[in-house]
Amino acid sequence: MAEPSETPFALLGGEPAVRRLVERFYDLMARDEPALARLHLCDENGHVSRESRDRFALFLIGWLGGPQDYIAAHGHPRLRMRHMRVPVDVAMRDAWMRCMRAAMTELGVPEPLYGFLEQRFGEVADFMRNRPG
């Protein structure tokens, strides 16, 4: 990537870009991976709720090097613990990654940032696995 002081958050375009990524990610999930979308808190129309979208955006903003508002509001993310109620296997990890890759592609995330984020998202998605296969 560029200078060490340039965070992925800044390189992506700050909070507006992260929020666009989250919106597109969940919209693609609803369209392409509906079983995965249904595992989230959904609204009365069956779409991933505004609360879930905002919470994920807040998490990503901090995770990408932006303001740490998620931690201030919700404490340490404890990702695996918070997702233990969901059986995360290879298929679910791969479905999640397909949605994130498609969202990044559609929003035109440039290289080398795309490759960096794809690797980081992949590492976290794999870490979230709590079931074999």
**Has residue 4 been placed in a domain?**
no
Q: Which domain holds residue 29?
A: 13-127
**Has residue 3 been placed in a domain?**
no
**Has residue 32 been placed in a domain?**
yes
pLDDT per residue, tens digit, the chain (133 aa), is: 555 569 999 999 999 999 999 999 999 999 999 999 998 889 988 889 999 999 999 999 999 999 988 777 766 666 555 655 778 889 999 999 999 999 999 999 999 999 999 999 999 999 888 888 7
CA distance 102 to 108: 10
Whether the CB-CB separation of 115 and 70 falls below 8 Å is answered with no
Eight-class DSSP state of 112: T
pTM: 0.88
CA distance 91 to 109: 25
Q: How far is CA 89 from CA 15, 82, 103, in A?
A: 30, 15, 21
CATH of the domain at 72: 1.10.490.10
